[in-house]
Chain A
Amino acid sequence: MSSGAGAWVVAAFAAPIAGATLALFAGPRAARWFGALGSVASALITGALVATIAAHGPLRYAIAGWGAPLGIDFYVDGLAAVMLAMTSIVGLVVSVYALGYFGRAAGHESERNWLFWPLWLMLWGGLNALYLSADLFNIYVALELIGMAAVALVALAGGSAVVAALRYLLLALAGSLLYVVGVELLYASHAI
């Protein structure tokens, strides 16, 4: 496929991650605005990608030109487009609400206001990567990214939430290791 459409695919994954990095380095005061900017950019890019898929059909894009099996392919079909659109609609609404919810910043809450935005945008980026993945092991990487961002978001509240996040992390890691065993058994039975 043309590299123009491929740029949308990579941007759909990279825009939330870039927004998360910017929000992390922006400090407690400006993080909200970089977070909101990243959310709006992600929603727009995802909308453009879904419109491209609706017009031209499914799209397979190899990142940096290195194809499968050693490279990573992104494959956007109808189901991926629907999931991307749903996530971007819900994510945009969540971001707008979070601007107001975390906006009443007392001094002791400013760290939570600051750290929410990188974690939320990382979660969004991981979800986009999950929908765009074309192979099982890339799904594992996206699931780990989502899991760790979710654990950190749970722990953000402090107090007993830290214990809950620790329980979540331990069991999520056990589950994903068993998922890798499953992927490996599939690979061993089909590919060699």
Chain B
Amino acid sequence: MTSVLVYACAGIALLCIGLLALLCSHHVLRKVLALNVMGSGVFMMLVALAARAPQPDPVPHGMVLTGIVVAVSATALALALLIRMHRDSGSALLPEDRSR
């Protein structure tokens, strides 16, 4: 069990935890946080697999940096939409989750 395998499996575990939280949470802010956890899991897996070579491979590191930028802008867009929905309807839950 090499250390690369431990980190890669931890990345997959974070991805699965985030996916579960995204699908099962009611509050939309929790869904946005779950997406960020999923992103962290994907990036950890990328960096772990880049460390297998004797000199760490720079291409997956470039992918991680691009992914971080994309995740930040996507989170900003999601938060803007959430604020607008809360302002319009008074609730931070999607309509299908609001009945309870």
A152 part of interface (Cβ distance < 8 Å):
yes
Q: How many residues of A contact B (CB 8 A)?
A: 30
Chain B residues within 8 Å of A144, by CB:
70, 74
Bound CA–CA A181/B78 (angstroms) = 22
A55, CB-defined interface residue at 8 Å: no
Q: Which residues of B contact A (CB under 8 A)?
A: 15, 19, 22, 28, 31-32, 35, 38-39, 42, 45-46, 49, 52-53, 57-60, 62-63, 66-67, 70, 73-74, 77-78, 81-82, 84-85, 88-89, 94-95
Q: How far is the CA of A41 from the CA of B8 in the complex (A)?
A: 46
Contact A166 B94 (CB under 8 A): yes
CB distance from B6 to the nearest CB of A (A): 16
Q: Once the chains bind, are A177 and B38 in contact (CB under 8 Å)?
A: yes
The residues of A that contact B46 with a CB separation of less than 8 Å are: 180, 184
Knowing A177-B35, A192-B57, say if A169 contacts B81 (CB, 8 Å).
yes
Of B22, B49, B62, B84, the residue contacting A162 (CB under 8 A) is B84
